[in-house]
Structure 1
């Protein structure tokens, strides 16, 4: 029986995936690196330090630290969140449904805590979440399952009794590896949509979520 629901953030609660792509393109291009849509799909759900490490291992640079590159990307994303951030379809209604039904609600994101705070401030969603956790505090980010396992522990619910909402394939893999159920809400334009078949269910948007889906997982 599902007792807790854990939400991812980027691309699920907020329209921030374009912000990440814009920021990564801006910073990586300034270093002389090429980026493309296929790379962005592979990066979705990963921590920014891990993304920077992947790019550095592919094409090393020597005139800027990896930490500075990651910080520049994060700062640019936060600026875009403040300027353009908005709730994605069905976010508020889904949270209200789960809150009314007395489910424990958590958030587990690969983003740094300062981005999470900026997003929740912008969308005014703080009060919905009993637990807010960032993968920056874990040894490994998604697709490693630890960020979700820690969130479940903080909620006081066994992982097997948790459901995760995720928009990225890395996030779905992470949730399933944590022994949790997972409903995927992937980007419609993603080229890897067929891979989301591994999730327990797939929705076009959170607008399609119904509370009775939890009993059928």
Structure 2
């Protein structure tokens, strides 16, 4: 049924969401952003540019440009990943299982190329991925399906033959819009949220994943 498996990166390959939160709090908070002022933002799954644009629109700051802030956040997260990044539970075994089945593997992330390369290198998993798609290759990030369609195209596989692992609602939305089968791995605090009902399957970690359930 499946010819390819596509992974999101942040929160899926690696538990980097806390680093993103720390970066936003440290850098945007340092510019005077009050994250408790409406309109509030659920930033998980969104592009860094979209998060920055939201806060700049509603709480503009003097000084550094949005582009400079963007680079500062990326550098903060990349440094944390390079120093302390660890693979999500069960990931390495799953990647090996997929490779043994001779399925194609891709990563599709809203993060930039430098962070994608840093993460794959830190986890020592670069060679598993025949296609590596990052935000700089598309005109729109998730929840738009463009990056998932690009990943499938680069693998030479039709979207309906792709299985996707995603942790965010934006990512699940993107993959479903691309016509793919989606396994959601929500963060624990979002596990019960009804929005993930649009996913085809839901697991807490890769160790729970069962190929037989896909039959």
What's the TM-score, normalizing by structure 2? 0.95
The gaps in structure 2 that reach 5 residues or longer are none
User: Which residue is equivalent to 1:117?
Assistant: 117
In 2, Cα distance between equivalents of 1:127 and 1:119: 13
Q: What's the C-alpha RMSD, in Å, of the aligned pairs?
A: 1.5
Contact 1:3 1:157 in 2 (8 A): yes
What's the TM-score, normalizing by structure 1? 0.94
In 2, Cα distance between equivalents of 1:130 and 1:147: 15
Instruction: Give CA deviations for 1:163-202 in whole Å, capped at 9, x if unaligned.
Output: 1100111000000011111000011123773211110000
The gaps in structure 1 that reach 5 residues or longer are none
Contact 1:31 1:61 in 2 (8 A): yes
Moved over 4 A (4+): none
User: Which residue is equivalent to 2:149?
Assistant: 149
Instruction: Give CA deviations for 1:142-161 in whole Å, capped at 9, x if unaligned.
Output: 00000000000000001111
In 2, Cα distance between equivalents of 1:121 and 1:39: 34
User: Which residue is equivalent to 1:201?
Assistant: 201
| CA-CA distance at 1:112 after TM superposition | 0.4
Count of residue pairs brought into register by the alignment: 213
Change (3 A) 1:39 1:186: farther
In 1, Cα distance between equivalents of 2:112 and 2:95: 22
Contact 1:3 1:161 in 2 (8 A): yes
| CA-CA distance at 1:214 after TM superposition | 3.2
